[in-house]
């Protein structure tokens, strides 16, 4: 249907109320997904005192693969592993693996809130990678947002990175996670066709699980049944988070809902304060404002313009 045949409901009319409900549902689902992911990171940070982050990722992706396959089968999907673009799925999973394992290792050593904020540089990195790999041209507004985002990282890290050389290198991991997340987003855009949605959900955890399997010869250690149960719960809640994002994005455009994923930063900061005594300095809030502001600026610049 062409846009000229569509009518915009008047504010307060029954049609506008009905139209607002999916939007509100999408906002809530995306915000809920962010909160779930932040809670998972907090649980993983607590578990890194007993298990290697590589082992934690391996077990978690195994549970995730089982739960997402069960979800897809229950919703009527059958050929969930059949794809004509396996190479793209492999690259996409590799980016996610880089993002998740870098983050899991980082939060074992640095405050959860600060690592999460740096990881949310990914919308800015997506713009940068679009220039490098896709040849897209950006104007002064996007360049300004890029600079503000990276300045925000420097402010968040602050003098803590200078305490020792090893600690300085650890601070690169959340930044690496941001680059991995950005690559994951770009590859997800390439796999947005309807016939690739189910394979994208099902293949991703399987590929990550298989990629981490050889490393278990080095990193595996005995794991308590309680930790196995916790990781199973993480696999379930991780599936719920991804389903929430998928359903939310069906209710409204991603450009509208993306800012609500910043709930992950808010929840991670609260959990860091309550459970890990994370420091909350003026520099942290200033850096967080710069990074989140840069991400929102990118979102505002790239949002679809209404038809005139």
Helix (H) or strand (E) holding 213: none
Please state, as a whole number, how many other Cβ atoms lie within 10 Å of the Cβ of residue 204. 24
pLDDT at 6: 37
| pLDDT classification of 253: cutoffs 50, 70, 90 | low
Q: What is the DSSP letter of 164?
A: -
Does residue 80 form part of some domain? Answer: yes
Does residue 75 form part of some domain? Answer: yes
| pLDDT tens-digit readout, 172-195 | 898 899 888 888 877 877 787 788
Backbone phi and psi for residue 223, each to the nearest 5 degrees, phi listed first: -125, 135
| pLDDT tens-digit readout, 209-236 | 999 999 999 999 998 888 888 889 888 8
Please state, as a whole number, how many other Cβ atoms lie within 10 Å of the Cβ of residue 167. 14
Question: Residue 295 corresponds to which tokens in the numbers above?
Answer: 């991400």
Helix (H, G, I), strand (E, B) or coil at 48: coil
Q: Residue 21: is its pLDDT beyond 80?
A: no
Instruction: Using alpha carbons only, give the angle 13, 18, 19 rounded to the nearest 5 degrees.
Output: 95
Does residue 165 form part of some domain? Answer: yes
Q: How many domains does the chain have?
A: 1
Between helices 172-190 and 86-107, what is the axis angle to 10°? 160
Range of the domain at 264: 27-302
For residue 258, give the nearest of 130, 124, 142, 123 by alpha carbon: 123
Q: Residue 206: is its pLDDT beyond 90?
A: yes
| pLDDT classification of 134: cutoffs 50, 70, 90 | low
Does residue 10 form part of some domain? Answer: no
| CA–CA distance, 93 with 109 (Å, rounded to integer) | 25
For residue 41, give the nearest of 98, 102, 121 by alpha carbon: 102
| CA–CA distance, 234 with 240 (Å, rounded to integer) | 10
Residue 135, sorted as left (phi over 0), alpha (psi -120 to 50) or beta, turns out to be left
Highest mean predicted confidence (pLDDT) among 74-78, 100-104, 175-179: 100-104
Question: Looking at the chain, how many residues does it have?
Answer: 308
Give the rounded percent of residues in the chain with a pLDDT score beyond 70.
Answer: 81
Q: What is the mean pLDDT of residues 96-123?
A: 86
| CA–CA distance, 264 with 243 (Å, rounded to integer) | 16
What's the predicted TM-score (pTM) here? 0.76
Mean pLDDT of the chain: 79
Given 3-state DSSP classes, what are the helix, strand and coil percentages for the chain, each rounded to the nearest 5? 80, 0, 20
pLDDT at 94: 93
Q: Are the beta carbons of 87 and 203 closer than 8 angstroms?
A: no
When comparing pLDDT for 69 and 190, which is higher?
69
pLDDT at 205: 92
Tokens 């793209």 label which residue? Answer: 88
Residue 301, sorted as left (phi over 0), alpha (psi -120 to 50) or beta, turns out to be alpha
Does residue 240 form part of some domain? Answer: yes
Cβ neighbours of residue 219 under 8 Å, at least 6 residues apart?
A: 52, 54, 55, 58
Q: Are the beta carbons of 41 and 217 closer than 8 angstroms?
A: no
Cβ neighbours of residue 98 under 8 Å, at least 6 residues apart?
A: 176, 177, 179, 180, 183
Does residue 270 form part of some domain? Answer: yes
Q: What is the mean pLDDT of residues 198-218?
A: 93
| CA–CA distance, 217 with 234 (Å, rounded to integer) | 23
Does residue 7 form part of some domain? Answer: no
Does residue 138 form part of some domain? Answer: yes
Between helices 197-212 and 225-251, what is the axis angle to 10°? 150
Q: How far is CA 261 from the centre of its chain?
A: 8
Helix (H, G, I), strand (E, B) or coil at 55: helix
């Amino acid at each position: 249907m062409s846009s000229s045949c569509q009518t915009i409901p008047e504010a307060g009319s029954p049609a506008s109320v009905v139209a607002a409900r999916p939007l509100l549902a999408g906002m809530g689902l995306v915000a809920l997904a962010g909160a779930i992911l932040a809670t998972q990171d907090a649980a993983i940070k607590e578990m890194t005192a007993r298990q290697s982050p590589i082992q934690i990722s391996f077990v978690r992706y195994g549970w995730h693969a089982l739960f997402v396959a069960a979800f897809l089968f229950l919703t009527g999907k059958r050929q969930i592993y059949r794809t004509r673009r396996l190479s793209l799925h492999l690259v996409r999973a590799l980016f996610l693996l880089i993002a998740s394992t870098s983050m899991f290792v980082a939060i074992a050593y640095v405050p959860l809130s600060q690592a999460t904020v740096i990881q949310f540089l990914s919308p800015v990195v997506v713009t940068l990678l679009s220039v490098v790999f896709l040849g897209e041209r950006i104007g002064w507004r996007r360049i300004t947002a890029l600079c503000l985002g990276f300045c925000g990282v420097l402010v968040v890290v602050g003098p803590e990175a200078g305490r020792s050389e090893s600690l300085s290198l650890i601070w690169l991991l959340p930044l690496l996670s941001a680059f991995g997340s950005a690559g994951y987003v770009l590859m997800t855009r390439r796999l947005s066709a309807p016939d690739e949605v189910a394979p994208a959900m099902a293949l991703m955890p399987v590929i990550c699980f298989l990629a981490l399997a050889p490393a278990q010869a080095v990193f595996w250690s005995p794991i308590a049944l309680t930790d196995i149960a916790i990781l199973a719960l993480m696999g379930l809640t991780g599936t719920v988070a991804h389903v929430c994002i998928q359903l939310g994005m069906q209710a409204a455009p991603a450009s509208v809902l993306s800012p609500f994923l910043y709930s992950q930063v808010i929840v991670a900061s609260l959990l860091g304060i309550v459970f890990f005594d994370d420091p909350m300095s003026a520099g942290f809030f200033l850096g967080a404002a710069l990074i989140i502001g840069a991400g929102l600026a990118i979102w505002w610049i790239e949002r679809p313009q209404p038809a005139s």
